[in-house]
Every structure is written in C-alpha cells, then in structure tokens.
Amino acid sequence: MTGPEPLTGEPLALDLLNTLPYAAEGDPPDHLADAEGLLRWLALEAGRLPGAAGAREADAADAAAVRAVRTHAARALTAARRGERPDPADLRALNEAQRAAPAVRFAEWSDGTVTAEPCRSGPLGARVAAALAEEVVLLLAGPALAKVRECEADDCTMLFLPAHPRRRWCSAARCGNRARVARYYARHKDDGPARS
C-alpha cells in the first residue's frame, strides 16, 4: 500500500469505502490489499469495530472477506445515492456477510451496571465483514444516505457525511488546503513577478 492513510472518522460504512480511494494516475492505493493493511486499518478504527479491537493476526482470507464487503457496499451505495435500485446480488452478499458472524449482545455486570456489548464469533475477517456489512445496511436504510457527499477536489473520491452543510472536502487538511492553495495561485498567476 502506498499513499496517505485512509480517511477515518466518518461512519464506518464510508470509512470502509475510503480504504480504496481514486488515483488520478495508476492503480489506487488499496489499504486492504493484504492482511497487514487490514491490521493497520483496524488499528486506525480502534474502538469502533467490536471484536476487532487489538487484532494482532490476520491472513489473506480475512482481508479478502472485508474487501468483498467493500465491493458490494460500493456498488449498493452508488446505486442508492443515485436513487437507483441496488443490484439484488450486492444486497444478498451484504446479508450473507452478516449471517456469517451474527452479533449477540452479551449481558455483563460492570461497575454497578449491566452492559450489553455486541459479540461475534468466527475468524477475524468474518467478524469484521459482518460488522461492516451491518453498518452499510444501516446507512443504506437510513436518512443519512441522502446526506453523503463526495469530496469536491478534482483528484479525490473520498466520501463523507458533512456535519456542516457547507463542507466541501473530505478533509480540510487533505483536500481543502490543496484547493485553497490552487485557487490562490490561479488568482495570482497573472500578477507578474513579485517585487523585492
């Protein structure tokens, strides 16, 4: 994997899609290309994916399971955002990923209260794929889908859910600054050489 770290902090379904950003030239940097990439991404998402926090081992099958959910999620979300019916095969694949490692909420007593954390069994890839497929389905079925935006930078296709309606870029530091600098230089390129 090459390129900057993937954008995180968006809903998990979007963070998953942002692991394969657009590349203006050549192949995009796939942050989930292998088991090591999957582990790096899981570390970035620490605490947001129950059952995956602290994962230290993964294999090619684990990464492939998560990439498969990403593929189906990307197609389903693209269609739904356009107001089109997602391919039934993509929806079936998301449902099957969830069935492979269903969540069970285990009740536990902790510090004077009962907690109910979702737990999934099975290999790491199946657990992560199931949790991500659930997040994708919730996004597809919820009102937030209509608010999802694509970054307005020319060379970026990252998706985000804006907290502010005027947000235009995936990240102010990543694409926003580049766009502002490009606008500045475009405005000043005809000003001639600077004077000393």
Half-sphere exposure of 19 (CA within 13 A, CB side): 28
Angle at 82 between CA 79 and CA 83, to 5 degrees: 90
- Tell me the whole-structure pTM to 2 decimals: 0.84
pLDDT digit string, tens, across residues 141-178: 999 999 999 988 877 888 999 988 888 888 777 786 66
Residue 134: band (very low, low, confident or very high) from pLDDT cuts 50, 70, 90: very high
Interacting residues of 12 by C-beta distance below 8 A, sequence separation 6+? 45, 48, 49, 131, 132, 135
Q: Count CB neighbours of 82 within 10 A.
A: 9
The full set of domain ranges for the chain reads 12-146
